[in-house]
């Protein structure tokens, strides 16, 4: 069997091949309907090693420690059926093995190895970008999409997805003009391309184009019915635009209707997916930093977080868990989370341990201290690690949360000497006109 871009797959069953194609196509297009097709593929050929790998990688991508057993099971089945695999398939098996052990950069280098011989293997490009994004290595990701881009042309299936991936790499590496052009092109090719939509939304928030941002989301929101959780993250992005305009009621409304609406099928089936937890925690804290009463909205996040205190699958998510626990007064549990993170970081030799140490742990300590009103401690914790926070992963717009916390503590401590440092950091992150942004202008105005 050959996939839609011509890569050979080792299976004796046509159905198994077709179903894994559908699964990967839907995954690449950010559709929610992926796992059932992996299941159908494996039902047709239980010895289809590559389908076991896809299953394991999708669970690994969900960044949830509770999936570890199932990921190991997929890996074991893939290795058991590894006889006669192509070199490309073998590299995927190795990539799953590295990912399952938290050796993320090793997995990425295997995706690069695959791409060296199969430059239009969009699955490898996407997986590499996802892994690198969540460890903050977007320069590396940009290098990968740049290297494969000459091999792409419109006739290659899912050309638009390559463009949307390339667009986001360019945005996070501050090539905003080219990022916007490619993002818009990917959405022209396919209006349901939520990743291209997302890349453009990032450009617009970085450049302070808030009204355009709202219109951009508004014009595309009806295309997302079949999309995965990225649609909820796009609603989070829309909240960012309203927040900058001081339209807090609008933000609360979108929070309740989309971002954390627990009645939406996506949130019913998986209420604690990391991106959704981040969206919720990040937006509620941003609102509270503006003095908005968010009522009982933290409670559902609190309940979900209490089950994840020993989850070290995402150095960007862990500080958000701390935000939630501290917001609901669960300081004992927040300290338990911190202790668990510290123990993990002290022995982990994979990609995550050092990143917890350099970025996630100080950020976690800082958000707890902030909620306790220990503002001089927040400043002491965050100032020295500002230039390392990228190591926790996430986007510039997402990591802005920790700079907003720092700015708030600077305001509360009346440290007018430090505001220039934070404003420089915000501009260095790529935001234009930092001093006019809502979380920073109040600091400047109050101090001067
Ligand atoms: Fe985003």
Q: How far apart are CA 348 and CA 102, in angstroms?
A: 9
Say how far residue 14 (Cα) sits from the centre of its chain.
Answer: 34
CA 398 to ligand 1 centroid distance, Å: 7
Query: Percent of the chain, pLDDT > 90?
Result: 97
CA 198 to ligand 1 centroid distance, Å: 6
- Choosing from 77, 94, 120, the residue where a domain stops is 120
Do the beta carbons of residue 440 and residue 422 sit within 8 Å? yes
Residue spans of alpha helices (H) in 134-254: 138-148, 159-172, 176-189, 194-206, 210-220, 230-244, 248-254
CA 395 to ligand 1 centroid distance, Å: 6
CA 439 to ligand 1 centroid distance, Å: 18
* Residue 51 belongs to a domain: yes
- Choosing from 79, 94, 120, the residue where a domain stops is 120
CA 12 to ligand 1 centroid distance, Å: 40
**Contacts for 55-61 with beta carbons within 8 Å, 24 or more apart?**
56/96, 56/99, 56/100, 57/92, 57/95, 57/96, 57/99, 57/127, 58/27, 58/34, 60/96, 60/99, 60/100, 61/127, 61/130
Asked if the model's pLDDT at residue 90 lies above 90, the reply is yes
CA 115 to ligand 1 centroid distance, Å: 25
CA distances (Å), origin 220, targets 166, 191, 200, 233, 395: 20, 7, 12, 14, 22
For residue 56, the domain's CATH number is 1.25.40
* Residue 63 belongs to a domain: yes
Asked if the model's pLDDT at residue 172 lies above 70, the reply is yes
Q: How far apart are CA 315 and CA 359, in angstroms?
A: 8
Side-chain-side CA neighbours of residue 160 (13 Å): 18
pLDDT at 123: 98
Q: How far apart are CA 258 and CA 237, in angstroms?
A: 11
Q: How confident is the model at residue 445 (pLDDT cuts 50, 70, 90)?
A: confident
Q: How confident is the model at residue 447 (pLDDT cuts 50, 70, 90)?
A: low
Buried b / exposed e across 93-112, counting CB within 10 Å, b at 16+? bbbbbbbbbbbbebbbbbbb
* Residue 244 belongs to a domain: no
Relative orientation angle of helices 49-61 and 87-100, to the nearest 10 degrees:
30
Asked if the model's pLDDT at residue 320 lies above 70, the reply is yes
Do the beta carbons of residue 169 and residue 198 sit within 8 Å? no
CA 256 to ligand 1 centroid distance, Å: 19
Closest by alpha carbon to 10, among 78, 58, 59, 60?
A: 78
Helix count (H) and strand count (E) of the chain? Answer: 25, 0
Q: How far apart are CA 82 and CA 258, in angstroms?
A: 43
CA 430 to ligand 1 centroid distance, Å: 14
Q: What is the mean pLDDT of residues 67-83?
A: 97
* Residue 35 belongs to a domain: yes
CA 428 to ligand 1 centroid distance, Å: 18
- Choosing from 74, 95, 120, the residue where a domain stops is 120
Please tell me the total number of residues recorded for the chain in this structure. Answer: 448
* Residue 331 belongs to a domain: yes
CA 7 to ligand 1 centroid distance, Å: 31
Helix (H) or strand (E) holding 428: helix 419-428
CA 215 to ligand 1 centroid distance, Å: 17
Do the beta carbons of residue 295 and residue 52 sit within 8 Å? no
Question: What's the pLDDT tens digit per position in 266-298?
Answer: 999 999 999 999 999 999 999 999 999 999 999
pLDDT at 443: 76
Instruction: Give residue 281's domain range.
Output: 272-448
* Residue 220 belongs to a domain: no
Question: 222 burial class (0-12, 13-18, 19+ CB within 10 angstroms)?
Answer: exposed
Side-chain-side CA neighbours of residue 287 (13 Å): 25
Residues 6+ away with beta carbon under 8 Å from 49: 10, 77, 78, 79, 81, 82, 85, 89, 93
CA 173 to ligand 1 centroid distance, Å: 14
How does the average pLDDT of the chain come out, rounded?
97
* Residue 230 belongs to a domain: no
CA 171 to ligand 1 centroid distance, Å: 11
CA 93 to ligand 1 centroid distance, Å: 29
Do the beta carbons of residue 355 and residue 393 sit within 8 Å? yes
Q: Count the domains in the chain.
A: 2
CA 2 to ligand 1 centroid distance, Å: 33
CA 343 to ligand 1 centroid distance, Å: 30
CA 177 to ligand 1 centroid distance, Å: 17
Q: How confident is the model at residue 448 (pLDDT cuts 50, 70, 90)?
A: low
CA 48 to ligand 1 centroid distance, Å: 35
Query: Percent of the chain, pLDDT > 70?
Result: 99
Do the beta carbons of residue 4 and residue 158 sit within 8 Å? yes
* Residue 23 belongs to a domain: yes
CA 376 to ligand 1 centroid distance, Å: 30
Which protein residues have a CB closer than 5 Å to ligand 1 (ion)? 395
**Which residue's structure tokens are 């996939």?**
3
CA 51 to ligand 1 centroid distance, Å: 29
Closest by alpha carbon to 43, among 20, 17, 16?
A: 16
């Amino acid at each position: 069997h050959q996939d839609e871009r011509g890569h050979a797959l080792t299976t004796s069953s046509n159905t198994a091949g077709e179903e894994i194609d559908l699964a990967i196509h839907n995954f690449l297009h950010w559709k929610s309907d992926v796992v059932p097709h992996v299941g159908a593929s494996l039902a047709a050929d239980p010895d289809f090693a590559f389908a076991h790998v896809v299953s394991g990688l999708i669970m690994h991508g969900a960044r949830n420690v509770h999936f570890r057993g199932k990921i190991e099971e997929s890996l074991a089945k893939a290795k058991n059926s590894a006889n006669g695999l192509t070199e490309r398939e073998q590299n995927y098996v190795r990539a799953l093995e590295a990912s399952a052990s938290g050796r993320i950069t090793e997995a990425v280098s295997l995706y690069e190895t695959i791409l060296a011989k199969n430059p239009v293997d969009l699955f490898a490009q996407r997986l590499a970008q996802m892994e690198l994004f969540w460890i903050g290595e977007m320069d590396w990701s940009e290098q990968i999409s740049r290297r494969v881009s000459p091999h792409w042309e419109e006739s290659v299936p899912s050309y638009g997805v390559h463009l949307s991936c390339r667009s986001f790499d360019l945005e996070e590496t501050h090539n905003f003009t080219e990022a916007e052009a490619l993002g818009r092109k990917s959405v022209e090719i396919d209006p349901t391309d939520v990743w291209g939509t997302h890349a453009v939304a990032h450009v617009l928030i970085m450049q302070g184009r808030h009204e355009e941002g709202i219109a951009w989301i508004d014009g595309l929101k009806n295309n997302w019915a079949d999309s995965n959780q990225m649609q909820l993250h796009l609603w989070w992005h829309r909240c960012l635009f309203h927040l900058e305009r001081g339209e807090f009621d609008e933000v609360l409304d979108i929070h309740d209707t989309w971002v954390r609406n627990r009645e939406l099928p996506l949130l019913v089936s998986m209420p604690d997916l990391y991106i959704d937890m981040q969206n919720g925690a990040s937006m509620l804290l941003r609102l509270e930093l503006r003095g908005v009463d968010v009522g009982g909205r933290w409670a559902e996040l609190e309940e979900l977080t209490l089950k994840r205190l020993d989850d070290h699958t995402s150095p960007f998510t862990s500080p958000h868990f701390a935000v939630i626990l501290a917001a609901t007064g669960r300081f004992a549990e927040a300290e338990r989370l911190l202790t668990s993170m510290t123990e993990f970081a002290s022995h982990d030799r994979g990609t995550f341990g050092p990143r917890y140490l350099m970025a996630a742990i100080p950020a976690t300590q800082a958000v707890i201290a902030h909620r306790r009103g220990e503002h001089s401690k927040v400043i002491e914790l965050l100032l020295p690690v500002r230039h390392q926070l990228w190591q926790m992963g996430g986007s510039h717009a997402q990591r802005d949360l920790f700079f907003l916390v720092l700015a708030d503590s600077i305001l509360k401590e009346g440290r007018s000497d430090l505001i220039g440092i934070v404003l420089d950091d915000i501009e260095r992150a790529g935001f234009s006109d930092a001093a006019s942004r809502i979380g920073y202008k109040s600091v400047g105005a109050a101090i001067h």
